[in-house]
């Protein structure tokens, strides 16, 4: 019997529609050689909705998402003025309890990277920390932000990271700033150590965030799974993506108990909107992560293999990879490999 999965698709802003449509083309190609069907439910979210709906996440969209098993999300523009709606990604992560942000960073063939042989995953706590959204101007010129770190959320994300390490190289590095943030990172560190007791096979070490950003440049190949709090993870995963070559190749998953949302690590890159110029691979690999999450591992691997094959050949390269190929050229090349 053919399995059918209802998938929410949010194209987003800026380059979002281009890279999301490219991914749908690749997902369509892989379905033709697999035994499952994706039923795409498109809805609107992002900065472009604000004028019409007064919000970047209309309630109709949330209702559609609730009917689906996973979401493919394009990047969205987040207005920065005080009082503007909170980022859609942050709202959805909290709303659907997507507590683990999983960002694999791998060296790709034929892609110039700072150091060779990188194969690591940054697991970032996704629901609290400095993204609690609780900020206040307590007096003129004096502002505070709440960095909320709970044992519950820390245990949950640590558990996810240890499980992942067990499937990989069994090495976990937890990252914090416990020498300064003694209470909040103390809670995080204690939670990691608690979970560690159940995974004696995993080699565990830790780094301060400042040292970690340096180590990622100096010797990224020694790391396997890096787990950390929300803001540190955001910074580290962007850095790791760039160390491996390009933000245009980095995909991310947001995983909860019952739902998964998949998106590129990069943003909406507004200056490239509609130019058919950016690299769609990050979103395409996010699509592959979605299939893996759904249990369609063979199909996920087909997409990854097709991406690697195109990069190995090196004929089709977008501008970020030093070439002149368009978004459509890259998409077509990957589709051809899947066929």
Q: Which amino acids are annotated catalytic? A: 131, 177, 210, 234, 238
Residues 7-66 that bind ligand NAD (CB under 6 A): 19
Residue (46 or 220) nearer to ligand NAD, CB: 46
Q: CA torsion 321→327→332→338, rounded to 10°?
A: 60
Distance CA 260, CA 100 (A): 10
Q: Is 226 in the site for ligand NAD (CB under 6 A)?
A: no
How many residues belong to the site for ligand NAD (CB under 6 A)?
Answer: 17
Distance CA 202, CA 199 (A): 6
Member of 10, 161, 278, 286 binding ligand NAD (CB under 6 A):
278
Least separation in angstroms between CB 11 and ligand NAD = 11
Closest CA to 175 of 211, 203, 151, 218: 211
Pairing of strands 171-176, 3-10: unpaired
Residue (191 or 278) nearer to ligand NAD, CB: 278
Q: Is 282 in the site for ligand NAD (CB under 6 A)?
A: yes
Member of 43, 57, 64, 75 binding ligand NAD (CB under 6 A):
75
Member of 263, 292, 296, 329 binding ligand NAD (CB under 6 A):
263
Cα distances from 262 to residues 133, 171, 179, 265, 278, in angstroms, run: 22, 25, 34, 9, 18
Member of 76, 225, 288, 294 binding ligand NAD (CB under 6 A):
76
Least separation in angstroms between CB 170 and ligand NAD = 30
Segment contacting ligand NAD by CB under 6 A, of 159-167, 178-186, 195-203, 260-268: 260-268
Helix axes 184-196, 151-167, angle to 10 degrees: 40
Closest CA to 161 of 230, 225, 240, 252: 225
* Cα 72 to the center of its chain, rounded Å: 11
Residue (178 or 252) nearer to ligand NAD, CB: 252
Residue (204 or 285) nearer to ligand NAD, CB: 285
Pairing of strands 36-43, 3-10: parallel
Residue (86 or 166) nearer to ligand NAD, CB: 86
Q: Is 268 in the site for ligand NAD (CB under 6 A)?
A: yes
With b for 16 or more beta-carbon neighbours within 10 A and e for fewer, the 157-188 pattern comes to: bbbbbbbbbeebeebbbbbbbbeebeebbebb
Residues 77-106 that bind ligand NAD (CB under 6 A): 77-78, 89
Q: Residue of minimal CB distance from ligand NAD? A: 267
Distance CA 236, CA 216 (A): 8
Q: Is 287 in the site for ligand NAD (CB under 6 A)?
A: no
Note the residues at the interface with ligand NAD (CB under 6 A): 19, 75-78, 89, 247-248, 263, 266-269, 278-279, 282, 320
């Amino acid at each position: 019997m053919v399995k059918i999965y209802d998938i929410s698709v949010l194209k987003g802003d800026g380059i979002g529609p281009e890279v999301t449509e490219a991914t749908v083309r690749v997902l369509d190609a892989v379905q033709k050689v697999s035994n499952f069907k994706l039923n795409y439910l498109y809805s609107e979210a992002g900065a472009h909705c604000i004028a019409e709906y007064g919000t970047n996440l209309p309630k109709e969209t949330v209702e559609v998402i609730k009917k689906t098993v996973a979401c493919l999300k394009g990047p969205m523009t987040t207005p920065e003025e005080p009082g503007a709606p909170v980022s859609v990604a942050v709202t959805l992560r909290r709303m659907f309890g997507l507590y683990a942000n999983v960002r694999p960073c791998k060296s790709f063939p034929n892609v110039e990277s700072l150091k060779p042989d990188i194969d690591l995953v940054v697991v970032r706590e996704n629901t609290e920390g400095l993204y609690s959204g609780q900020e206040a101007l307590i007096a003129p010129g004096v502002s505070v932000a709440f960095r909320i770190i709970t044992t519950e959320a820390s245990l949950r994300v640590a558990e996810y990271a240890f499980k992942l390490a067990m499937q990989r190289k069994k090495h976990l590095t937890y990252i914090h700033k416990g020498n300064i943030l003694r209470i909040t990172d103390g809670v995080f560190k204690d939670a990691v150590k608690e979970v560690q007791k159940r995974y004696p096979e995993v080699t565990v070490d830790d780094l301060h965030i400042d040292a970690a950003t340096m180590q990622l440049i100096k010797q990224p190949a020694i790391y396997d799974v890096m787990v950390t709090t929300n803001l540190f993870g955001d910074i580290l995963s962007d850095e790791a993506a760039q160390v491996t070559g390009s933000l245009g190749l980095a995909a991310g998953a947001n995983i909860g108990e019952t739902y998964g949302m998949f998106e590129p690590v990069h943003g909406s890159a507004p200056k490239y909107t509609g130019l058919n110029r950016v690299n769609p691979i990050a979103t395409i690999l996010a699509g592959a992560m979605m299939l893996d999450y759904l249990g369609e591992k063979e199909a996920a691997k087909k997409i990854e293999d097709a991406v690697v094959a195109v990069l190995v050949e090196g004929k089709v390269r977008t501008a970020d990879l030093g070439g002149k190929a368009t978004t459509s050229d890259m998409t077509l090349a990957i589709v051809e490999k899947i066929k």
